[in-house]
Amino acid sequence: MKKTSRVIALAVLLLIFVLIDTAGYMIIEKAAAADALYMTIISITTVGFNEMFPLSPAGRIFTIFVILSGLGLVFSIASAVVEQGVESRVRSILGRRRMKALSNMKNHIVIAGYGRMGEIVARELTEHNLECLIIEQDPQRFAQAEERGYPVLRADATQEDVLEQCGIRRARTFISLLSSDADNVFTVLTVKEMKLDITLIARALDAQNEKKLRRIGAQHVIAPNLLSSKRIVNSVLRPNVVDLMDIVSHPRMLDLTLEEIVIHEESNLNGLSVRNSQLRERYEAMVVAIRRQGKMRFNPGPDETFIAGDIVILLGPTDRIRRAALRQKQ
279 φ, ψ (degrees, to nearest 5): -65, -40
| Per-residue pLDDT, 307 | 92
Alpha-carbon span 182 to 238, nearest angstrom: 35
Domains identified in the chain and CATH numbers: 2-99 (1.10.287.70), 105-228 (3.40.50.720), 254-329 (3.30.70.1450)
pLDDT tens digits along 258-283: 888 889 888 888 999 999 988 888 88
Alpha-carbon span 330 to 326, nearest angstrom: 7
Residue 278 CA: distances (Å) to CA of 55, 273, 284, 301: 99, 9, 9, 14
Residue 203 has pLDDT above 90, yes or no: yes
DSSP character at residue 273: B
Alpha-carbon span 293 to 230, nearest angstrom: 28
Looking at per-residue pLDDT, the higher value among 46 and 77 belongs to 77
| Per-residue pLDDT, 213 | 93
| Per-residue pLDDT, 303 | 92
pLDDT tens digits along 61-102: 888 888 888 888 888 888 877 777 776 666 655 655 666 666
| Per-residue pLDDT, 25 | 82
CB 123 within 8 A of CB 188: no
pLDDT tens digits along 159-189: 999 999 888 999 999 999 999 999 999 999 9
- The confidence band for 121, taking pLDDT boundaries of 50, 70 and 90, is very high
pLDDT tens digits along 212-233: 999 998 999 999 888 888 889 9
